């Protein structure tokens, strides 16, 4: 607690934001020196108002100790720039968070991971949900750790995609990490904690206030080498994240979407402005393959350590295979070199059985399935799970049929 309490004391000060902390740390070598500085020394620090100096002259550590004890009780880790698990990529952005609150079941050092953010709108279309989930699953299967904000829509689909592929994923929240936001994502949050990390710059008990989301977005992009925007209307938070990514000198990718849909106007405009188009699920992987192949290989889930997954096989490869094997690689998460014998039907959940009852050997469009009363998010997640269990085959044009 010795050094940590000074970081907590500083970051919990009202009105002393990251920019002012940055200036303070230019003036003083550490939070401990700031704590022990008197009024005169503090007044010499540029950009501090008399009100700021007055706030910093309050040397009480009671709030810091209270937050520390609460984190201890709730098994929440506190990461500062000196901590080995603090993501060093964040230190290169203009206004890094100096304290991060983290929850994880197994120790995960993001400095040893290739991280890519996948973001989009909360009011996602079936296309957006499917794309975010499958793209994240394939990236995770290749050892890329998927970062997002655990929001409704595309964010949740991205997290579930990474989890279903057996990969790692990180959620950055706009409130405390002790409670899921939104509350309906309690299960998702538990799974992320088991298979990755939940982060926030806000202490436990902090609600997800509207002005926190913009600040949260800079951490999502700052944690990541690149940010993929799946679909975003004008004014979307995903566009704010991509703006931060550009300002932080990160790559920005965009999945082309329906030009007639208001849900993709903003993301399609990013393409016109020079964002990198994602035309296949391996495009992001190939972007980083040369420089980060070793780190991705190290973090590749065991089931995926066979070979990279391409979106389409070449005509030459397809011509060499029997008709029954002529499938797109996008229609499976892992492809082996030989056809395995048929396995008994795996155990299915009630949701999976309900969806399966509406499928046959004849392909059916996902929108037709959604019309039968399934929510798009549940349907997208369930179809992906059934596909990975080898029960369902995904066809072109968002159509699905029984294997």
Rounded-to-10 torsion of CA 119, 123, 127, 128: 0
pLDDT of amino acid 381: 78
Mean pLDDT along residues 347-372: 85
Cβ-based neighbours of 73, under 8 Å, separated by 6 or more: none
Top pLDDT among 382 and 89 is at 89
pLDDT above 70: residue 336: no
197-256 tens-digit pLDDT: 999 999 999 999 989 999 999 999 999 999 999 998 888 889 999 999 999 999 999 999
Burial of 324 (0-12, 13-18, 19+ CB in 10 A): exposed
The pTM of the full predicted model, rounded to 2 decimals, is 0.74
Structure confidence at residue 345 as a pLDDT band (50, 70, 90): low
Q: Is the pLDDT at 382 greater than 70, yes or no? A: yes
Provide the pLDDT for residue 315: 33
Which tens digits make up the pLDDT trace of 100-128? 999 999 999 999 999 999 999 998 888 89
Per DSSP, the residues of 103-146 read: E-SS---GGGSEEEEEE--SS--HHHHHHHHHHHHHHHHTTEEE
The three-state secondary structure class of 85 is coil
């Amino acid at each position: 607690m010795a050094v940590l309490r000074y970081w907590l004391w500083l970051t919990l000060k009202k009105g002393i934001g990251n920019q002012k902390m940055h200036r303070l740390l230019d003036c003083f070598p550490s939070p401990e020196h700031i704590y022990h500085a008197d009024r005169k020394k503090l007044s010499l620090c540029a950009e501090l108002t008399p009100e700021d100096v007055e706030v910093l002259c309050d040397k009480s550590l009671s709030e810091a100790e209270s937050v520390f004890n609460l984190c201890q009780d709730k098994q929440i880790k506190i990461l500062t720039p000196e901590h080995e698990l603090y993501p060093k990529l964040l230190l290169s952005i203009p206004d890094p968070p100096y304290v991060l609150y983290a929850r994880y079941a197994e120790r995960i050092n993001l400095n040893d991971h290739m991280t890519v953010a996948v973001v989009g709108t909360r009011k996602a279309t079936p296309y957006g949900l499917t794309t975010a989930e499958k793209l994240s699953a394939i990236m995770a299967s290749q050892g890329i750790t998927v970062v997002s904000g655990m929001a409704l829509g595309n964010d949740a689909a991205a997290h579930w995609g990474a989890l279903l592929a057996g990969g790692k994923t990180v959620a950055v929240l706009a409130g405390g990490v002790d409670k899921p936001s939104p509350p309906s994502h309690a299960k998702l949050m538990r799974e992320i904690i088991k298979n990755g990390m939940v982060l926030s710059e806000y202490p436990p008990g902090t609600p997800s206030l509207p002005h926190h989301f913009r600040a949260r977005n800079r951490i999502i992009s700052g944690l990541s080498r690149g940010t993929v925007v799946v679909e975003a209307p004008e004014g979307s938070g995903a566009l704010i994240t991509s703006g931060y990514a550009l300002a932080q000198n990160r790559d920005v990718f965009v999945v082309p979407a329906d030009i007639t849909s208001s849900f993709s106007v903003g993301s399609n405009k990013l393409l016109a402005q020079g964002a990198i188009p994602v035309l296949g699920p391996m495009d992001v992987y190939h972007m980083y393959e040369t420089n980060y192949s070793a780190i991705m290989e190290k973090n590749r889930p065991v089931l995926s350590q066979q070979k990279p997954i391409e979106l389409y096989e070449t005509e030459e490869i397809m011509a060499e295979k029997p008709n029954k094997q002529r499938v797109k690689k996008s229609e499976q998460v892992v492809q082996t070199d030989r056809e395995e014998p048929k396995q008994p039907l795996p155990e299915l959940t009630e949701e999976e059985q309900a969806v399966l009852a509406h499928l046959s050997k004849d392909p059916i469009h996902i929108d037709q399935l959604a019309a039968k009363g399934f929510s798009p998010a549940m349907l997208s997640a369930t179809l992906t799970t059934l596909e990975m269990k080898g029960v369902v085959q995904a066809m072109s044009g968002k159509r699905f049929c029984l294997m």
